[in-house]
Amino acid sequence: MAGFISPSMLMMILLAILYRHLRAFPNTDRLFHGLNAAVVAVIIVAAWRIGRNTLTKPWQWYVTVLSIIAVIFFGATILEIVLSAGLIGIYIDSFGEKRWHRWRRIRRLASRRRARLADMESKNFVGGYLTRAMAEERVRRLSDDEAEEEPVEPSGPRFRSSIFFLAAMPIMAKLALLLALSSVFIRMGAVTFGGGFVMIPLIESEVVRTNHWLTQQEFADATALGQITPGPVLITATFIGYRVAGTLGALVSTIAVFLPAFLMTIAAGSSLRRFRANRQVQAFLRGVTPAVVGLLVAAAWSIGRAGIHTWVGLSLCVIAGALLLRFRLNPFWVILGVGVARFAVGVFVGM
């Protein structure tokens, strides 16, 4: 594991150090614009190649489309998508294709009923309203009690404890940040199915929208830089960790994101033959495969929304995709070439 990840991790740390300085130079936005466009093309081509051989039945197309909608519009997690798709695969295998249409009608009626019930509950203010009101009342009472009780403490111990607290604050803040990083990336690594590309929307949600560690543009740039290293897609965690907490943060994030897969591989290795022969496991995987295609499309949407801003970038994305499909080039050279081409267009044409 260390031999596989260490070269890419060191390269990403170096790129993270250079990133801050590169951003100070003129026209570097255009360079990263091209890199992001090429990364979107790489992800779409990966989704096309997987889907071309696996999406052979109508229910698989439904799973793919629903996965895209669930991630883009409803913010569903990867684990929810994978488990739901796997259960659908088991159902289709167990009950046959003929019952699929009946199941779809039942699901549609159940969804409408849940929507009506949710609408009725929201109109009647059931649940959340009373809970918030009770919580606010409890907080108000506790505040009144604390205001009435003013314990008198010796000034000496209070002063010493304040000095100790102030001195320990930077260390505690650093530890809290490292703990937050490890918690986020352990969860990411534990639900990484179908390759690291499918995790891009989930990582973006945690890093950009929830914790505000990076902007959307910085996240898109981090994903692009991860593609020009020889390591896996999730090596982007190294860049994020460095930007958040320095070299120690990069190390913690890298270990955290790859550790779950490492442990699960060891645990499942002895049972691999049984998994291959198990009909339910194979049915589960047949359901997950179309969901992975949908997750890849959602990942391309996530990067494209943040990293492609002009028709020039969109055109380069289409050209990169055509080159990858037609000639099966190494994605590294395509990404680097498109980035340089976009930079040249910006310098010589001014676009």
DSSP secondary structure string, 56-100? Answer: -SHHHHHHHHHHHHHHHHH---HHHHHHHHHHHHHHHHHH-GGGH
pLDDT class of 138 with cuts at 50, 70, 90: low
Q: Average the pLDDT over 75-81 and give the result.
A: 82
Q: Answer yes or no: is pLDDT of 16 > 60.
A: yes
pLDDT class of 78 with cuts at 50, 70, 90: confident
pLDDT class of 126 with cuts at 50, 70, 90: very low
Instruction: Name the CA radius of gyration of the chain, rounded.
Output: 25
* Residue pLDDT, tens place only, 39-55: 999 999 999 999 988 88
Give the CA distances from residue 2 to residues 10, 23, 167, 179, in Å, rounded to whole numbers and listed in that order: 11, 31, 36, 21
pLDDT at 179: 92
Q: Answer yes or no: is pLDDT of 307 > 90.
A: no
Residues 234, 239, 244, 248: is their CA dihedral positive or negative?
positive
* Of 166 and 36, the one with more pLDDT: 36
Q: Average the pLDDT over 109-120 and give the result.
A: 68
* CB of 208 closer than 8 Å to CB of 216: yes
pLDDT class of 157 with cuts at 50, 70, 90: low
When the pLDDT of each residue in the chain is averaged and rounded to a whole number, the result is 80
pLDDT at 32: 87
Q: Answer yes or no: is pLDDT of 125 > 50.
A: no
pTM equals: 0.67
pLDDT at 67: 93
Most confident of 137-151, 165-179, 211-225: 211-225
- Residue 85's identity, in one-letter code, is A
Q: DSSP of 301-334, one letter per residue?
A: HHHHHHH--SHHHHHHHHHHHHHHHHH---HHHH
Place of tokens 């255009």: 30
Q: Average the pLDDT over 197-203 and give the result.
A: 82
